[in-house]
Structure 1
Amino acid sequence: MNKTDRLLAIVLNLQRKDVVRAGDLATQFETSVRTIYRDIQALCEAGVPIIGAPGTGYSLMKGYFLPPISFTVPEAVSLLIGTDFIEQQFDDDYRVKAQDARGKIEAILPESVLDETFRVRKAIRLLISDKHLNQSKEKEYLEKIRRAILDERKIGFHYSKRHADSEGKRHSVRVAAPYGLVLVEGSWMLVARCDLRQEIRHFRLSRMTELIDLGERFELPIHFNLREYTPLDNRHLLVRLRFNNEIADKVKESNFYYIEDMEEHQDGFHVVLRVRHLDEVLQWVLGWGSDAFVLEPKSLRNVIREEAQKILKRY
């Protein structure tokens, strides 16, 4: 990045945040803190009202806005593909907003940039399967939860877990304070503080039913930041598999969520999975048929054997 682009990027960072540290800017732009100090000085001399000093952080004087800027072709393509993504994956309200935003972006682009952007976008296609979303109430729930998050109101819902709890139950009624929504491999996940468990839990929208807005207010903890939030990883069980080398590429392309490590050996393609319950990988392993062999744990080999016997009896 040249100096001109970096100066512009610094101003944009200052517009988006209350205070920006020189060290953070240096890390972002892969340069030295001393260079950032010189950039700040250059911006001040150019008339940009920056407040602050080395060691404390910098901010823009309130009321200052950067004049409208133009977009390059790659920047315009990025924005327009972003609207395509939102239109496909978000609820109906944001789908309409994405369409409106795309129209505004296209309206302000110079004709030459718009033509080149259109040419590039013709060579790029964003395919996201939303078949599941269209066949369920997930999009409807997405909008309700999104509004509850913004208004800081609790929600109630029935929830079906994949695995039974310690009491053998899979279905429960929950009341939760919604903190945020996360899109994980095409599935929406709610991060919320569950009243029943008295801690932060994760809920798949696809497993919710009878969702209602309770209207009860809650206060989002000051220390909670969804972008910085790291869930507790309680996947402690390791599963080691060996696949025939002929299907190694297929295994890699499966992008199975629980894969921890993969390595090619003379006797086959070795894969390590890390899970909470063996049931989480049973169907996936069975799907590979005789091309997969469970090295450990022995308990999973026994379960696979039992399932194979059941299949043999059925046929």
Structure 2
Amino acid sequence: MNRTDRLLTIVLELQGRDRVRAEDLARHLGVSKRTIYRDVLALNEAGVPVVSVPGQGYSLMPGYFLPPLQFSAEEAVMLLLGSDVTAQLFGGGPAEAARQASRKIGAVLDPAMRDEVAFLLDNLRLVRQGGGEEAQATRDKLRQLREAVTRRRVTRFSYHKPGSAAQTRQAEPHGLYLLGDVWLMAAFDQERRALRSFRVDRMEDLELLGDVFSRQPGFRLAREEARRDRPLAVRVLFAADRRREVRERLPFYTTGTQETPEGFVVTLRARTVQEVLPWLLSWGADAQVLSPAPLREHLRDEGRRLAQRYA
């Protein structure tokens, strides 16, 4: 942490608490008490009214606020929940940055609002599912890919697509996004000379190369995602009394739902049959595909294979 960041952190710590001892600041910032003394002197010389109370520590003169931000309780809670989810998703350096941001947000709240926000945070939780080695492996890859995006480093990795042999790919990462429960990397594929999306959980042996690339002109992640081709229109019929359960398990590529005399109809837009197949099979005979006909035939064949396996 450079000195400018350290001085701002001291002000935020003082603003968020009545009094703070020099040894507590030193421990929090990983510096000596002598450094804290020099920093406090520098703040006073810069016009920040830090008051020293012998035996009790430092405090800011009443009425002094930095930065001049005002949050409602709801705004503060949403920001802090977002920081918490970021910490869960990325871990490591980004997680610490998220926690530091949370401390800064908490420091600019007045005491009465701080208590209200603390109560709401204790009773609202956004918890990411998943854990173990696979989750840790994904976080490690996300850390590498985040670095590749920000530093414009070319990546090389082994990519495993279902039903095909692993291929070595070399790509220029432009962005990362979470779609449903799946992380994807938007990147320029050097071999195919086109923008592609790669599932992070299908990458192995990921490495950042020394090459630095130039970003594709005009690239915007939201625009590229909107352009993604999903040619397969699927309509699925469920019994009306399964409506609530179906709504709870809709995939991210759902485009609409409709209540009809026949039952509850779900409309999907998928890239391939393989993308939608696992979701359909999870419903067993409760899901009736209305269209397209090739998907109905594919499910019929899959059903025969299952019957043969368990015959």
TM-score bracket for the superposition, by shorter chain length: 0.7 to 0.9
* Cα distance in 1 for residues equivalent to 2:90 and 2:304: 44
Which residue of structure 2 lines up, in the alignment, with residue 156 of structure 1?
156
1:72 partner letter: S
In structure 1, list runs of 5 or more residues that go unmatched: 1-65
Which residue of structure 2 lines up, in the alignment, with residue 245 of structure 1?
240
1:142 partner letter: L
Structure 1 position 204 matched with structure 2 position 199: yes
SS in 1 for 2:154: strand
* Cα distance in 2 for residues equivalent to 1:179 and 1:226: 8
The residue correspondences of 1:147-226 to structure 2 (distance < 5 A) are: 147-162=147-162, 169-226=164-221
* Deviation sequence 1:73-116 (CA, Å, 0-9, x none): 22221221121111111231111122222223323432211111
* Cα distance in 2 for residues equivalent to 1:199 and 1:181: 17
Distance 1:117 1:248, change over 3 A: same
Give the number of aligned pairs: 245
SS in 2 for 1:95: helix
Query: Is 1:148–1:155's contact at 8 Å kept on the other side of the alignment?
Result: yes
Query: Is 1:241–1:296's contact at 8 Å kept on the other side of the alignment?
Result: yes
* Cα distance in 2 for residues equivalent to 1:76 and 1:240: 41
The residue correspondences of 1:1-315 to structure 2 (distance < 5 A) are: 68-131=68-131, 135-162=135-162, 169-313=164-308, 314-315=310-311
SS in 1 for 2:233: strand
- Calculate the aligned-residue CA RMSD, in Å: 2.2
1:267 partner letter: E
Query: Is 1:259–1:272's contact at 8 Å kept on the other side of the alignment?
Result: yes
SS in 2 for 1:137: helix
* Cα distance in 2 for residues equivalent to 1:78 and 1:273: 31
* Cα distance in 1 for residues equivalent to 2:226 and 2:85: 25
Distance 1:267 1:69, change over 3 A: closer
Query: Is 1:190–1:203's contact at 8 Å kept on the other side of the alignment?
Result: yes
Query: Is 2:180–2:251's contact at 8 Å kept on the other side of the alignment?
Result: no
* Cα distance in 2 for residues equivalent to 1:284 and 1:137: 25
1:193 partner letter: F
Distance 1:282 1:224, change over 3 A: closer
Query: Is 2:179–2:252's contact at 8 Å kept on the other side of the alignment?
Result: no
2:248 partner letter: E
Query: Is 2:67–2:108's contact at 8 Å kept on the other side of the alignment?
Result: no
* Cα distance in 2 for residues equivalent to 1:186 and 1:309: 30
Displacement of 1:133: 7.3
* Cα distance in 2 for residues equivalent to 1:306 and 1:227: 37
Displacement of 1:203: 0.7
Distance 1:69 1:300, change over 3 A: closer
SS in 2 for 1:109: coil
Distance 1:75 1:241, change over 3 A: closer
The TM-score with structure 2 as length reference comes to: 0.72
* Deviation sequence 1:25-84 (CA, Å, 0-9, x none): xxxxxxxxxxxxxxxxxxxxxxxxxxxxxxxxxxxxxxxxx9522333222212211211
Query: Is 1:160–1:171's contact at 8 Å kept on the other side of the alignment?
Result: yes
* Cα distance in 1 for residues equivalent to 2:282 and 2:240: 16
* Cα distance in 2 for residues equivalent to 1:137 and 1:207: 11
Distance 1:276 1:183, change over 3 A: closer
Structure 1 consecutive aligned stretches of length 4 or more whose deviation exceeds 6 Å: none
* Cα distance in 1 for residues equivalent to 2:270 and 2:221: 24
Displacement of 1:134: 5.1
